[in-house]
Amino acid sequence: MDIRRLLRTFGTLLGTAGLLISGCSSGSSTTSASRSAPAAPTELLPYYSQHLTWRDCGVSGFQCATMKAPLDYAKPDAGDIKLAVSRKKATGPGKRIGSLLVNPGGPGGSAIGYLQSYAAAGYPAPVRARYDMVAVDPRGVARSEPVECLTGPQMDAYTQVDQTPDDTAEVTQLSDSFHKFANGCEQRSGKILPHVATVEAARDMDILRSLLGDEKLTYVGASYGTFLGATYAELFPARTGRLVLDGAMDPSLSSIEMNRDQTAGFETAFQSFAADCVKKSDCPLGTTSTTDAAAHLEQLFADLDAKSIPTGETRKLGESLATMGVVAAMYDESSWPQLREAIAGAQRGNGSGLLALADSYYERQPNGTYANLMAANAAVNCLDSPPAFTGPNAVKQALPSFEKASPVFGKPLAWASLNCADWPVGATGAPHRIKAKGASPIVVVGTTRDPATPYKWAQSLAGQLSSGRLLTYEGDGHTAYGRGSDCIDSAINRYLLDGTPPAADKRCS
């Protein structure tokens, strides 16, 4: 139900659902920090001088290790946090360049899940040949001491709360659900909750860079991973190597600006879907116009708000889950046929298709458990920036602007932005421009009709960064690298392999 700044790649959204990442078993090689790496602060030397003991993960071709970082960088002697790391070594041919760290976004997406299910096989072969592909689950995420908030049944209830409240009782119910979620996080994960900010995750990446023996970080971050990468460049410009930030966030925006922009992004994506849909004879939203298609979808949501429908299991499909099912399909145009079928099923009284899409979005497993995506997502976002809204009255005042941004999604996405209002830990970050003066060229990739990270965010970030280089994909979907554009892939491959960034303002279609 909570989609505030849930910025992630669709490949992760579907690719890691149900993925079992095995723990490390008996070990083999050991890696320590390169002697030529930049010197670490004295108080952090125990972390920069540790050794990574690589072991077989139990997943073919992958090795796993555990690294330590300070739980609190302000008090590095106060205790450790253990972070899970995985890699697949360079396959050859060609001379190994170094390590390529990847992050799929979220916040809360498992980087190890992304590496093992997609990146290590899905990234272009020339890149995989010459880089060790590496991932670390950020602190609080997946296998790195995950933030936990609710049980599976509690999450089921949470995702079904009405996000378009029509009266005071429904507003209270929605506010209470956010409060119970935040309270659950404090009760289950109170120790780690103040220490999962993006700044801390970026500092963890610098420790890992050193332990891998790399003088500079080479990194591909998607979606929220672009904010993580830009934050790294801001903290460590001299250690910033070849960075690709795909589906970029704009760090200068406030939470309310970001949420409203993202709402507009989903409207743009829906308009593209609707324009494609109405041309097809099987379109469940009519075959006349995008305006008519939007009206049909809004009517379906209204019907489900009034009465939920069966799904073939104990849970029924109401408006909230249906909305998330549609939102999930906006991330990738290849999912549009599945969405058409799911909407048609719901119109006939069968909610199983939209429920399956919503479950993939929330990373709900078939056994009723959830990955910790939603918990980590809230924990990171609520630390990184002050809340968009402090209470229901603030949401009500902002509703017109959200509904203007998206007549279809504006109301539920505005109310979803209330999730940090009762957060037990105050924000430690704030919106600001990131310049990263002194960093090597940083390639910022934007897709013109990206639903989750609007194109103007990429334009803004590339303009903020002192060495930013904007690469544009004219198309649909969330992120661009490895999604079928030879133009995009060739430009990024060249940059990663020989250090030559794309020409200024290069565009691909």
Closest CA to 489 of 434, 438, 443, 424: 443
Active-site residue (options: 137, 204, 450, 489): 450
Active-site residue (options: 250, 440, 467, 478): 478
Active-site residue (options: 110, 117, 210, 223): 223
Whether residue 14 is predicted with pLDDT greater than 50 in this model: the reply is: no
**Can you give the pLDDT at residue 38?**
53
Whether residue 18 is predicted with pLDDT greater than 90 in this model: the reply is: no
**Can you give the pLDDT at residue 130?**
97
Neighbours of 256 (CB within 10 A): 20
pLDDT bin (cut points 50, 70, 90) of residue 13 is very low
Neighbours of 335 (CB within 10 A): 20
Whether residue 24 is predicted with pLDDT greater than 80 in this model: the reply is: no
Whether residue 75 is predicted with pLDDT greater than 90 in this model: the reply is: yes
* Backbone φ, ψ for residue 85 (5° rounding): -130, 145
pLDDT digits (tens, 9 = 90+) for 140-185: 999 999 999 999 999 999 999 999 999 999 999 999 999 999 999 9
Residue 223 among the catalytic residues = yes
pLDDT digits (tens, 9 = 90+) for 36-72: 445 788 999 999 999 999 999 988 899 999 999 999 9
Please name the residue that has the structure tokens 């009405």. 162
Whether residue 29 is predicted with pLDDT greater than 60 in this model: the reply is: no
pLDDT digits (tens, 9 = 90+) for 485-502: 999 999 999 999 999 999
pLDDT digits (tens, 9 = 90+) for 186-200: 999 999 999 999 999
Instruction: Give the 3-state secondary structure of residue 330.
Output: coil
Task: Provide, rounded to the nearest whole percent, the portion of the chain with pLDDT above 70.
Answer: 92
pLDDT digits (tens, 9 = 90+) for 101-120: 999 999 999 999 999 999 99
Stretch 396-413: mean pLDDT, rounded?
Answer: 97
**Can you give the pLDDT at residue 30?**
46
pLDDT digits (tens, 9 = 90+) for 270-304: 999 999 999 999 999 999 999 999 999 999 999 99
Closest CA to 197 of 112, 119, 81: 81
**Can you give the pLDDT at residue 267?**
96
Torsion of CA 361, 365, 369, 374, to 10 degrees: -20
| Contact of 85 with 65, CB cutoff 8 Å | yes
**Cβ contacts of residue 360 below 8 Å, gap of 6+?**
13, 14, 17, 328
The rounded distance, in Å, linking the Cα atoms of 21 and 13 is 16
Query: Which tokens belong to 12?
Result: 């992760």
Whether residue 4 is predicted with pLDDT greater than 80 in this model: the reply is: no
Query: Which tokens belong to 462?
Result: 């590339």
pLDDT bin (cut points 50, 70, 90) of residue 231 is very high
**Can you give the pLDDT at residue 40?**
80
Whether residue 451 is predicted with pLDDT greater than 50 in this model: the reply is: yes
Query: Which tokens belong to 274?
Result: 């609707």
pLDDT digits (tens, 9 = 90+) for 322-347: 999 999 999 999 999 999 999 999 99
pLDDT digits (tens, 9 = 90+) for 350-395: 999 999 999 999 999 999 999 999 999 999 999 999 999 999 999 9
Residue 478 among the catalytic residues = yes
**Can you give the pLDDT at residue 223?**
96
Domains within the chain, CATH numbers bracketed: 24-146+194-252+431-508 (3.40.50.1820), 150-191+266-362+388-422 (no CATH)
Neighbours of 344 (CB within 10 A): 15
